[in-house]
Amino acid sequence: MITIEPGAIADRAAGVLLAGATGDALGVPYEYGSRPLPPPGEPPRMLGGGLGNIAPGQWSDDTEMACAIALAAADGADLRTEDGLDAVADGFLRWYAQDPPDVGTQTRAVLDGARPGPGSAARLRRRAADLHARTGRTAGNGSLMRTAPVALAHLGDTPAIVAVATAISALTHHDPVAGEACALWCLAIDHAVHTGEVDVRVGLPHVGDHWADLLDRADEPERFAGANGWVVAALQGAWAAVRRADGVADGLERAVRGGGDTDTVAAIAGGLLGAAFGAAAVPGHPEPLHGWPDLTGADLVRLAVAILPA
């Protein structure tokens, strides 16, 4: 384990990936009512199961795809370039090729049968656009759930965060509202890593006007349970959990108890909670945190720090 001073920028950056993965693994057992939520007073646990056959302590597609982005950045890819986006697209396709236990519907429709290698980002974008033309439904929460590493790779660079969050979202989710949600959340993470403050409104100047009202209406996570497979409701549910949280554990529990797509909302919430409170504040659990591609929580800490700008 690398030594990071609690409260330092590196600690809060590491918290982004660690709390995101923790939220994911905490939400897995309860995804869409797979298992009843624990009674009040009893915290959710990383029991595994859920919609895929997921092991106790194991994170799911949310963190797996976030790792694909982070690993591309750690490998030296410049995510602002088409080559960098190819590296991310290839990472998504490598992940999909090993038959993960849980894959979102829209993500599967885009990745299934797509060819990796040079030009892969353009091919995914085209497939995502075709899916939109066919169904009109490409604003699932599947790009928001994985977006947090973009804020780390471009920490402090607002134009790059907006451009890259939007571009990586569009690899699988053609609807622009998904890209806006990713930009908004990454800007909030960037702000929290720098300041320790939680304020998702800092990104409002970079997205459509409708978002201010959507954020105002994010009061209780439960209100969004019925629709939080949709990116807007997932962001609202996560924001509702984070804005009242008095710490990482409290915020993640609020997100999970919100119901619906529990692992994804808690993974999204975790990215911002970890940015504000830091890795040192992320609670440990008896089940060891782990997941594709054969990483542990300690590896996520190292990865987060490795992708920060020099």
With CA atoms as reference, report the closest residue to 195 among 3, 5, 1, 13: 13
- When CB distances to Mg ion are compared, the closest residue is 60
Contact window for Mg ion (CB under 5 A) among 56-64, 154-162, 192-200, 286-294: 56-64
Minimum Å distance from CB 272 to Mg ion?
17
Minimum Å distance from CB 58 to Mg ion?
10
Minimum Å distance from CB 270 to Mg ion?
12
Taking CB under 5 A as the criterion, the residue among 60, 106, 138, 169 binding Mg ion is: 60
In the complex with Mg ion, which residue's Cβ is closer, 211 or 230?
A: 230
Q: What is the 3-state secondary structure (H, E, C) of the chain?
A: CCCCCCCCHHHHHHHHHHHHHHHHHHHHHHHHHCCCCCCCCCCCCCCCECCCCECCCECCHHHHHHHHHHHHHHCCCCCCCHHHHHHHHHHHHHHHHCCCCCCCHHHHHHHCCCCCCCCHHHHHHHHHHHHHHHHCCCCECCCHHHCHHHHHHCCCCHHHHHHHHHHHHCCCCCCHHHHHHHHHHHHHHHHHHHHCCCCHHHHHHHCCCHHHHHHHCCCCHHHHHHHCCEHHHHHHHHHHHHHCCCCHHHHHHHHHHCCCCHHHHHHHHHHHHHHHHCHHHCCCCCCCCEECCCEEHHHHHHHHHHCCCC
In the complex with Mg ion, which residue's Cβ is closer, 23 or 274?
A: 23
In the complex with Mg ion, which residue's Cβ is closer, 50 or 274?
A: 50
Taking CB under 5 A as the criterion, the residue among 61, 64, 253, 299 binding Mg ion is: 61
Q: How far apart are CA 224 and CA 186, in angstroms?
A: 21
Taking CB under 5 A as the criterion, the residue among 14, 26, 30, 62 binding Mg ion is: 62
In the complex with Mg ion, which residue's Cβ is closer, 175 or 263?
A: 263
Minimum Å distance from CB 62 to Mg ion?
5
Minimum Å distance from CB 292 to Mg ion?
12
Contact window for Mg ion (CB under 5 A) among 3-11, 54-62, 206-214, 269-277: 54-62
Minimum Å distance from CB 147 to Mg ion?
14
User: Per-residue contact track with Mg ion, 234 to 273, x per CB under 5 A?
Assistant: -----------------------------x----------
In the complex with Mg ion, which residue's Cβ is closer, 263 or 299?
A: 263
* Total of residues contacting Mg ion (CB under 5 A): 5
In the complex with Mg ion, which residue's Cβ is closer, 32 or 244?
A: 32
Q: Which residues of the chain form contacts with Mg ion (CB under 5 A)?
A: 60-62, 102, 263
